[in-house]
Amino acid sequence: ALPPDQYISQRLSTIMQSLRREIKSNAREWHYIIHSLRPLTQAIWRSLSATDRERLVKKYFTLWNIHRHRYAPHIAERIDAAQKGGQLKMVRARVASAAQTPDGIALDLKTKHGSETANGFDLAFRCTGVDYKTENNPLLKNILAKGLAKPSGNDYGIRASDNMLVYRDRP
């Protein structure tokens, strides 16, 4: 496997193959492997070709977000206890829609087995982080419309230099 700083200026396929090998050989330590990339993610992103950036966003963005986020051990204990006590159920699904009903919140879910509706929730959280897709982000959409920044070249984020200065249409 490549040392973390060796992921810079590599093709996405090379990076992914190396990560897969590293994770397979250290299955119990995968979170340390992902953690080792944290300080380098911006440099790796900037070193990717436009094609590889697009592929990363389309194919691996959700997977990356799932693996890079983690919670503290005391939170894990509370989550485990809530699951064991029947107070919390985790479901792998995409939420197609949510609506308030007399019985609580109803969610229309898309799972690998099809569609289902889950009812009676007191709370529902969208835990996917910031939506960086410019068309879905009112702030980024407004900044681009006013010419205060240029789009990144794909549908995510804005263009910035290595020192994080934003490229603009106006002088």
Q: How far is CA 136 from CA 94, 126, 157, 166, in A?
A: 17, 15, 11, 20
Task: Give the pLDDT score at 170.
Answer: 54
- Residue-by-residue pLDDT tens, the chain, 171 positions: 567 678 888 899 999 998 888 888 887 678 888 888 888 888 888 888 888 988 888 888 878 877 777 777 788 899 999 999 998 888 888 889 999 999 999 999 999 999 999 988 888 877 666 667 788 888 888 888 888 888 887 777 787 776 666 766 654
Task: Give the pLDDT score at 104.
Answer: 93
Task: Give the pLDDT score at 103.
Answer: 92
Q: What is the 3-state secondary structure (H, E, C) of 116-142?
A: EEEEEECCCCCCCCCCCEHHHCHHHHH
Task: Give the pLDDT score at 13.
Answer: 92
Q: What is the DSSP string of the chain?
A: ---GGGGTT--HHHHHHHHHHHHHHTGGGHHHHHHHHGGGHHHHHHHS-HHHHHHIIIIIHHHHHHHH----HHHHHHHHHHHHTTS------EEEEEEEETTEEEEEEEETTEEEEEEEES-----S----BGGG-HHHHHHHHTTSS-B-SSSBSB-B-TT-PBP-S--
Task: Give the pLDDT score at 12.
Answer: 92
Residue given tokens 């989550």 in the structure block: 79
Task: Give the pLDDT score at 86.
Answer: 92
